[in-house]
Chains A and B, each alone.
Chain A
Amino acid sequence: MIPEHTGSRATRIIGALTLAGFAAMLVLALVVSPPDQVQGDAARLIYLHVPVAIAMNIGFGLNAFGSAMWLWKKSRWCDTLAVAAAEIGLVFTALTLLTGMIWGRPTWGVYWTWDARLTSFSLLFLMYLGYLVVRQLPADPEVRNRRAAYVALLSFVDVPIVYFSVSWWRSLHQSATLSLNTTISGSMLFTLFVSIAVFIGCFAWLLLHRFRVAWLEDEVEAKGLDLAISERRAEALVGPRPVEAR
């Protein structure tokens, strides 16, 4: 049986909490937290930029996990998780790039600079775009999934390179915002944590829905094939169809 929508009680609760969280986050980010001493109001973009980057990393992490598990266990669940996580991860990569560019313009004076992290980040975006291209090529599901899983694992090699690029090469991008000896002030840190939690909730909500859509897509594809085969069989039993005049 095919359900009418992909919602469930869990997704509705997560969705409602995320929406409420977004409202709280806006108040905290725009009103409660003070402007940065050096960067002024532009620093408020960090409440978007860092959470979407974290959500992106979770997405690509889940993608690598799902791909590796697919290769190991051959379970359809893992492959569906991998493709759903990669797609949402790619959206969050785009958002990270976009918020970073909007922040870069007032702070650095340019939207884009050929800095190690930005460059490796744009490569990451292109790699996962390539992954989705491979995943969508028409082929036998087994072949397609295996091919995509290898591309995913090969792309995931770049994720740590992006992360460490800031410390490996002298970089214009500021180093990691969160660390054990953080120097960020109380209400800003609190706002940042709230927005990270909200975006992880948003990510989870999107992932659940996308996962269910991907699952149903596979189901429809398999059903469609069965249907087509049974139709052809029925035709064969009736005998060849007369050739229609063109």
Chain B
Amino acid sequence: MFHDTVLHDAGVIAGKDLRLEWRSRVTTNQIAPFALLVLILFAFALDPDRGILTRATAGLFWVAVLFSGLLALQRTFAIEAADGNRDGLRLSGLDPAGIFLGKAGAVALELLVLEIVLGAGVALMYGTIFRSWLLLVVTCLVATTGVAAAGSLYGVLAAGLRVRETLLPLLLLPILAPVLLGATRSFEAALAGVPSDGWPWVELLAAFAVIYVAFGVLAFGSLLEEA
């Protein structure tokens, strides 16, 4: 029964966040174009003629995901900040673990959309040829779960603070560094190397995701209570 209510509550929260996103179009009209802009800026910074972009595609892709993901995370907790929504959330009687899973799930879905946009971006602009689809898709799913879980944890931690815009990147980016490392190596293996080299990195990403999802399920309630 416990799991039923948690998952039901997660569905309610995720549905609410995604409906908000769908109606406000912030992800599609602002964050996704920003992600593409980051890709274009990389092309300005790194000479596109010398093949640096092609060799660095995996890393650039994930850096762009992290930066635009930060925006999505800021946004998902900013919508709770207005009009005392946080108190409403707390008083709603929904299971805190469910709220966490719902928030993280909605962020993960937004991130996956961003990754598809960015994937199309690197394919068109950096001339990347995708091979080993299975490894690429699994890496995206596992890494995104980790980013969304860790991000939602730190998001709620920073949400009540006046300094949240500057604090969240400082706290979150060092924590996400293993994801950047693992996802980049795995993508490199899928794009240019031997795909079997990528799977150990997927294991690292999975361990990261499990740790932060578990931490979030246990700690979110007590972090949400403070204001």
A interface, CB within 8 angstroms of B: 71, 119-120, 123, 126-127, 129-130, 133-134, 137, 142-143, 146-147, 150-151, 153-155, 157-158, 161
Q: B227 near A143 (CB under 8 angstroms)?
A: yes
Q: A126 near B211 (CB under 8 angstroms)?
A: no
Contact residues in A for B222 (Cβ distance below 8 Å): 71, 146
Contact residues in A for B125 (Cβ distance below 8 Å): none
Contact residues in B for A151 (Cβ distance below 8 Å): 157, 171
Contact of A161 among B154, B178, B226 (CB under 8 A): B178
One digit per residue, 1 when the CB lies within 8 angstroms of any chain A CB and 0 when it does not, for chain B 204-227 equals 000000010001000100110011
Q: A133 near B167 (CB under 8 angstroms)?
A: yes
Contact residues in A for B93 (Cβ distance below 8 Å): none
Q: B215 near A154 (CB under 8 angstroms)?
A: yes
Task: Give the contact-size bracket for chain B.
Answer: 20 to 34
Q: A130 near B170 (CB under 8 angstroms)?
A: yes
Residues of chain B in range 156-213 having any CB-CB distance to chain A below 8 Å: 157, 161, 163, 167, 170-171, 174-175, 177-178, 211
Interface centre among B163, B171, B215, B219 (most CB of A within 10 A): B171
Least CB distance from A242 to B in Å reads 34
Known A-B contacts A137-B161, A154-B153, A157-B211; the reply to A126 vs B167 at CB < 8 A is no
Contact residues in A for B154 (Cβ distance below 8 Å): 154
One digit per residue, 1 when the CB lies within 8 angstroms of any chain A CB and 0 when it does not, for chain B 139-156 equals 000000000001001100
One digit per residue, 1 when the CB lies within 8 angstroms of any chain A CB and 0 when it does not, for chain B 99-137 equals 000000000000000000000000000000000000000
Contact residues in B for A130 (Cβ distance below 8 Å): 167, 170-171, 174
Q: B223 near A127 (CB under 8 angstroms)?
A: no
Q: B175 near A147 (CB under 8 angstroms)?
A: no
Q: B163 near A154 (CB under 8 angstroms)?
A: no
Contact residues in B for A161 (Cβ distance below 8 Å): 178
Contact residues in B for A155 (Cβ distance below 8 Å): 175
A184 to B216, CA, bound (A): 45
